[in-house]
A and B are shown apart, each in its own frame.
Chain A
Amino acid sequence: MTEQAFFVLTALVDQPRHGYGIVGEVAELSDGRVRLKVGTLYGVLDRLVAEGLVDPDREEVANGRLRRFYRLTESGRDALAAEAARQAANARVATKRLRAWQPGAAT
Chain B
Amino acid sequence: MTELERRYRRVLRLLPGPYRQAWEEDMVATFLAGAVPADPEAAAFATDYGRPDWSEVVSVFGLAVRLRLGGADAPPRYLAWGNAVRLVALVGLLVHAVNALAGIGALLWLPERFPAVAVPSGTVTVLALLGLSWVVAYLALVGGYLRAARLIATLSLAPAAISVGMEVAITGTDYLASRVVELAVAAMPVLALAAFHREAASVRPRPWLIALPVGAVVETSVLLATQFPGGAVFVDWPGLACVAVLVAAFVHRRGPSWTAAIALLAGATFVLRAVTLLDYLAAGQHTLIIVALGEGAAVLVVGVPLAVRAIRTLRDLPATAGYPQAAPTARCCRWHPVAWKPGAGGQARVSARSCLFAAETFCCQRIHACQRCPAWPSAPRFPAYGTAPTVPGRPR
Task: State whether A61 touches B353 (Cβ < 8 A).
Answer: yes
Residue A60 at the chain B interface, CB threshold 8 Å: yes
Inter-chain contact total with CB atoms closer than 8 Å = 91
Task: State whether B356 touches A61 (Cβ < 8 A).
Answer: yes
A47 contacts which chain B residues (CB < 8 A)? 324
Task: State whether B55 touches A37 (Cβ < 8 A).
Answer: yes
In this complex, what residue of B is CB-closest to A59?
A: B339
In this complex, what residue of A is CB-closest to B57?
A: A39
Report how far A42 CA is from B337 CA in the complex, Å: 19
Report how far A42 CA is from B12 CA in the complex, Å: 12
Task: State whether A23 touches B55 (Cβ < 8 A).
Answer: no
In this complex, what residue of A is CB-closest to B64?
A: A39
B32 contacts which chain A residues (CB < 8 A)? 65
In the A-B complex, the 3 residue pairs with the closest CB atoms: A39-B59, A19-B30, A37-B59
A77 contacts which chain B residues (CB < 8 A)? none
* Sample of 12 A–B contacts (CB below 8 Å): A19-B26, A20-B29, A38-B30, A38-B34, A38-B56, A38-B60, A39-B58, A39-B59, A59-B327, A59-B339, A66-B26, A67-B29
Residues of A that sit less than 8 Å from B by CB: 2, 18-20, 23, 37-43, 46-47, 49-50, 56, 59-61, 64-68
Task: State whether B326 touches A49 (Cβ < 8 A).
Answer: yes
Residue B48 at the chain A interface, CB threshold 8 Å: no
Task: State whether A40 touches B59 (Cβ < 8 A).
Answer: yes
Report how far A56 CA is from B339 CA in the complex, Å: 12
Report how far A43 CA is from B324 CA in the complex, Å: 10
Q: Which of B179-212 contact A (CB under 8 A)?
A: 198
Residue B31 at the chain A interface, CB threshold 8 Å: yes
Known contacts A56-B326, A61-B353, A66-B25, A38 near B360 by CB under 8 Å: no
Report how far A61 CA is from B329 CA in the complex, Å: 14
B63 shortest CB reach to chain A, Å: 4
Task: State whether A66 touches B324 (Cβ < 8 A).
Answer: no
Task: State whether B324 touches A50 (Cβ < 8 A).
Answer: yes
B329 contacts which chain A residues (CB < 8 A)? 66
Residue B73 at the chain A interface, CB threshold 8 Å: yes
Report how far A59 CA is from B337 CA in the complex, Å: 11
